Amino acid sequence: MNQTRPGKNDMLNDIVEENAHAIGQLIELLTHLPNNLYRQSFGQRGRHAIGKHVRHIIDHYSALLSATASPQGLLDYENRDRDQSLETDCRAGANQLSAILHSLRRRFVEHHSAELAMLHTSDEQGQVIATSVDRELVFLASHTIHHMAIIGMLAEQAGVEISDEFGVHPSTLRHLQRQQRPMARSA
């Protein structure tokens, strides 16, 4: 059986759609979340808030979009806006995520240079590292889902019902589906 390998643009579109799916789930949650819960502090020291995690996700996508806006752009995840309004206003967070979703689909639907330079700082020493748009989108999908798992846990602690797939990585969902197939056949 011959399997055709998807083209570069098809693979990039799949990665973009994986990000879009996660962002869409987060937007859906935010449309039903009360603003006071969005900014409520959790944890013994009060350091955790849904809004802080959402703002953090937004900052990372914004860094990639900024770096890919020009041919010589430099990706820098440390130099983030940290806009407080995105931490405290649930609608502002949802609106910014919607804009990011639109930008991702628009920017990466067409052929885009795969090469990207990233500034990495370690021990106050900055160094430029070669990376790619594909690699960074894969990272952002995992990063987003990781933070969504925390957001889901915080929301559930406050009594909000969360879907079974919220904050679960697609690889885990595929694994669970494979496990259920034998059970479905034996039933």
Residues sharing a CB contact under 8 Å with residue 62, sequence separation 6 or more, in sequence order:
80, 81, 100
Q: pTM of this prediction?
A: 0.88
What's the number of domains the chain is made of? 1
DSSP-assigned letter for residue 158: T
Residue 14 domain boundaries = 10-186
Q: What is the pLDDT of residues 13-45, one digit of tens each?
A: 899 999 999 999 999 999 999 999 999 999 888
CATH number for the domain including 82? 1.20.120.450
Flag whether 112 is in a domain. yes
Flag whether 165 is in a domain. yes
DSSP-assigned letter for residue 48: B
Sheet containing 125-132: give its strands across: 74-75, 115-122, 125-132
Rounded-to-integer distance, Cα 173 and Cα 27, Å: 20
Flag whether 5 is in a domain. no
Q: What is the pLDDT of residues 73-126, one digit of tens each?
A: 999 999 999 999 999 999 999 999 999 999 999 998 765 668 899 999 988 889
